[in-house]
Each structure stands twice: as structure tokens, then as C-alpha cells.
Amino acid sequence: MEYTVKSGSPEKQRIGCVVAGVYLSRKLSPSAKILDKASGGLISNLVRRGELEGDLGGTLLLHNVENTLCDRVLLIGCGKEKDINTKNFREINKVLASTLNASGATEVTSYLTELPVKGKDLSWKIQQSIEAIDEKLYKFNQLKSDQKPPRRPLRKIVFSVSGRGQLADGEEAVRKGMAISTGILLAKDLANLPGNICTPTYLARQAQNMQKQYPKTKVSVKGEKEIEALGMGAFMSVSKGSRQEGKLITIEYKGGEKSQKPIVLVGKGVTFDSGGISLKPGASMDDMKYDMCGASSVLGALSACAEMQLPLNIVGIVPAVENMPDGIASKPGDIVTSMSGTTIEILNTDAEGRLILCDALSYAEKFKPDVVIDIATLTGACIVALGAHPAGVMGNHNPLVQDLIKAGKTSGDRCWELPLWDDYQEQLDSNFADVANIGGKGAGTITAGCFLSRFTKKYHWAHLDIAGVAWKSGHNKGATGRPVSLLVQYIVDQLPKS
């Protein structure tokens, strides 16, 4: 999709379609009023007759409107004017995308940028529009033999700005919005691939492709011999159960000064999770190809930051493995030694994500980080606690946690804090090792965070449990690309204030 910005009155746009909003109770938006005046009251007459009430998501598509230069006018219901929030604004743009992609209009000028969203400026609205439109039009059909795109698909969207003075800001917003959206699409594509294609080796190759695309990016990939040599016994306890070799992937984006401490993102990359010896139920096990969504979100976020050429140093660390029940796979009761020297009793081999993450978090120390954020589809308990709306967040540094919550509110990719209290740590006590890898039935998401916290004492750290938000199950199953938008917003918020 091509995106751009332009200033000008709606009735003078020589284009396939002009899009304007109508609020609840049949109130016309400013651009709809201009179109109505040009057409001699056509729009107000149609609305008065009940053709469009203004309910959120309602549409009215008009052809050859008198005294306008466009082929079509699409009116979209926006609900109550004062109630337009992030969710509603995105939904309105999704309606634009789905309606016009099936209409034959290939080029569109959108005046939805004039809709009032409390506390949000033009740049935010353009970025959110791009994300929402791309999300609605996304299809994963790379592996289908019969691919039939729309006969005349939507290919260009022009966002209206109020005057020439806003063109520069609008163009910058388009650049950022497209970079973030492209990162989200990368994360979706990687996560939607099946486990027989998206293996740890495949993930490593995708990271190496980033190095070719972005000159400021350096990628290193370690195989199991090197991983074992680093003393990563927890990582190897998972990886050894699969015939697919585990990989430790590191991506360094060097956009800042050499002395600048990096933001480190650590993404869980279990490309397929059978549960190991603690085998998962067979029903819906195919969803376990999504257990690498932490890894895909790290690749997506780094891609977006590199595309925007942010003046920051960022490191992505991806421990990538399969969790399989091989003859030499770890057994419940086994004890392994992590890179930090901590011994771990594996009470459940399906709690494998924290085993590869704890070694990756220890490895993160070498980069002398400013902050470390790990992202993982870690616990089903997070879905029970929070459902599918926010990710869970916890950490050892309250300002970092609050910054992530703020970034989530700004981006619409929300997270919610869970308590990381010492009271929960005793659930991880082991009779035979320093720590057990599970803490019993209660507070499963929190005890998983408590486990990881034991390996993060040397830096500021936060943990995002994305099990409830990284993909959707059921008939419309698929990866969501979350939390790429949240991560990029957090990173952008760290830019020096001018």
C-alpha cells in the first residue's frame, strides 16, 4: 500500500474516492459538510432520510456526486463525536479499508484525520490509520496454491492535512507509520508460518537478512556447541530434545553514540512447543507454532527502528529452540545449571520458555544495557488473568514498567501491571536445587516472572507476558503482531527531547 499526505478541499480531489465521517444523530463532519454544500444538500438529505444514522461502522457509498471531482464519496459512521477513542478510531479506518478494497476504488483521499480523538494529534492519527488499514487488509496466503487478490485492490491512500504547514509533519508520520506497520507485518508473517518451515535456523536466516537490509545492524548466530560452551545448561535442556538445532540469535542496531547504553529486547523463540515429556493435550496443539511470537516481535520492532533510523542503540536477543519429547529430552525431576550458575529443578518440561529466557537474560549482561525487556508467550495463566486485551507486565524497576504502560496507552497496544512481590518467590522453592521451574497452581504468571527476576539483578528489567495477545485462535486464527507497536512506541519515547 502506498501512503501519502495532501492538503485541499474534499470536493476538489480528483481521485477514485473521498472518505468523510458522520457522527451519531446524523451530524456531519467538517469535510462532509463541505461535500454536502457542493452537492446542493445531497448528503444532508440522504442522512435526514435515514440512509446513515452515524452509528460506529455504518457506511454509505455514493457515486458521481454532483459538483465534486471524485468518482465516489464514502461516508462512515463514527459514533458519538466526543466518544472517539483509540479503539473506535482504528475501527473506523478498518471499515474504510474493507469497504473500499471491495469497491473497485484503487486510490482514496481520507478526511478521517479530522476526527477528534482526545489528546491525540495529526501524527498519531496518521500512524494509527496506517496500522489499522494494513491490519484489516492483511492476509497470510503465501502457502496457498490458489491466490486470488481483489480484481482492483486498494493501492493508494492520501491522508488529508489542514494546510501546507502540516505537510512535513504528515509526511514524517507516514514514514513512521509505515515502518511500524511493516514491522508488525513481519512479526505476523513469521508467527503464521508453520513449525516445519519456521525453525530456529529459519529465524536465524531472517535476522541475517536484516543485516543485509540495514547497514547499522550487526547479526550473530550461535549454534549449540557455542551455546553449551557459554554454560547455558537451561537453554540446552530444552534444545537437546529436538533434532532442530537451537540457535542464539543476536541483532545489534547501532544508531546512537558508541558510549550510549543499549535498550535490550529478549524474545522467546520456541518455534514449536509440544510440551516435551510433559506433553500438551493434542487439541489445538497446532497453535503452539505461535510460541515464538516474542521472537517475532523483537525482529519486527528492530526492523521498524532500523527503518526509521532512530539515533539509539538497540540489541535484540532471540533464544530459538523447539520443545520436543525426544529420547534425550529433559525429564520432570531433572536438574540443570544455568549460565548464571543457578541450579534449576525441572518439575514440568512445558515450562520451557523461562529456561531459555533465563540464560538469554544472563547473556544480556554483556551488553551493559540501559534496560532489558523480555517478551514471551510465557503462561496460559496470563490469559486466565487478563484475557486477550492487555499483555501482562512486571519488573524490578517501576519507572520502566510505567514507561511501558504509558507506551501501551499511546500506541493502543496495552499492558497491565501484575505484582512481582517477594511473597510469591517461596512458591519456587526446591528441595533439591536452587529453584524450581514452576510454582504450583496459584499465580502462574507472577511466579514465572519471579523465576526470571532471579536472573536480572544486575540491570533494570521488565517482562511482558503476551500469551493472551500474540495470536487469535478459532476460525479466524492468526498472529496479531503484538506487541511490536508497544515496543516501538516505548523506544521512540526514549529519544532525547529536543
Per-10-residue mean pLDDT for the chain, 498 residues long? Answer: 96 96 96 97 95 96 95 97 96 96 91 96 97 96 80 90 92 97 98 98 97 96 98 98 98 96 98 97 94 98 98 98 96 98 98 98 98 98 97 98 98 97 98 97 97 98 98 93 98 89
Q: What are the cell numbers at 213?
A: 537490509
Instruction: Report domain extents, the chain.
Output: 2-139+152-162, 179-493
The architecture CATH gives domain 2-139+152-162 = 3-Layer(aba) Sandwich (3.40)
Q: Mind listing the pLDDT tens digit for each residue in 145-186? A: 887 765 778 999 999 999 888 999 999 999 999 999 999 999
Question: How much is the pLDDT for 284?
Answer: 87
3-state secondary structure of 71: coil
C-beta neighbour count of 280 within 10 angstroms = 15
C-beta neighbour count of 37 within 10 angstroms = 15
C-beta neighbour count of 109 within 10 angstroms = 24
Contact 211, 219 (CB under 8 A): yes
Active-site residue (options: 120, 280, 409, 472): 280
3-state secondary structure of 57: coil
Say if residue 6 is exposed, middle or buried (CB neighbours under 10 Å; 0-12, 13-18, 19+). middle
Q: What are residue 373's DSSP bridge partners?
A: 265, 462
H/E run at residue 122:
helix 122-137
Q: CA 55, CA 77: separation in Å to the nearest integer?
A: 5
Write 227-231 long-range contacts (CB < 8 A, 24+): 230/339, 230/359, 230/363, 231/337, 231/338, 231/339, 231/341
Q: CA 397, CA 250: separation in Å to the nearest integer?
A: 24
Question: How much is the pLDDT for 149?
Answer: 66
Q: Mind listing the pLDDT tens digit for each residue in 235-278? A: 999 999 999 999 999 999 999 999 999 999 999 999 999 999 99
Question: How much is the pLDDT for 498?
Answer: 66
Q: Which residue has the cell 518451515?
A: 197
Contact 16, 106 (CB under 8 A): yes
Which residues have a Cβ under 8 Å from the Cβ of 183 and sit 6 or more positions away?
A: 300, 301, 302, 303, 304, 307, 481, 484, 488
H/E run at residue 471:
strand 471-472
Active-site residue (options: 72, 354, 414, 482): 354
Q: Which residue has the cell 482514496?
A: 108
Catalytic residue status for 354: yes
47-77 CB burial, b ≥16 within 10 A, e <16: beeeebebebebbbebeebeebebbbbbbbb
Predicted TM-score (pTM) of the model is 0.95
Question: How much is the pLDDT for 474?
Answer: 85
What's the one-letter identity of residue 356?
I
To the question of domain 179-493 being in CATH 3.40.630.10, the answer is yes
Q: What are the cell numbers at 396?
A: 524490578
Closest CA to 293 of 264, 313, 273: 273
Angle in degrees, 0-180, between the axes of helices 200-213 and 293-308, rounded to the nearest 10: 0
Handedness of CA 203, 209, 214, 218 (dihedral sign): positive
Q: CA 394, CA 420: separation in Å to the nearest integer?
A: 6
Q: CA 5, CA 157: separation in Å to the nearest integer?
A: 8
Strands 156-161 and 217-222: unpaired
Question: How much is the pLDDT for 147?
Answer: 73
Q: CA 196, CA 429: separation in Å to the nearest integer?
A: 37
Question: How much is the pLDDT for 152?
Answer: 76
Judge if 2-139+152-162 and 179-493 fold alike in CATH terms: no
Contact 10, 34 (CB under 8 A): yes
Peptide bond into 200 cis (omega under 30): no
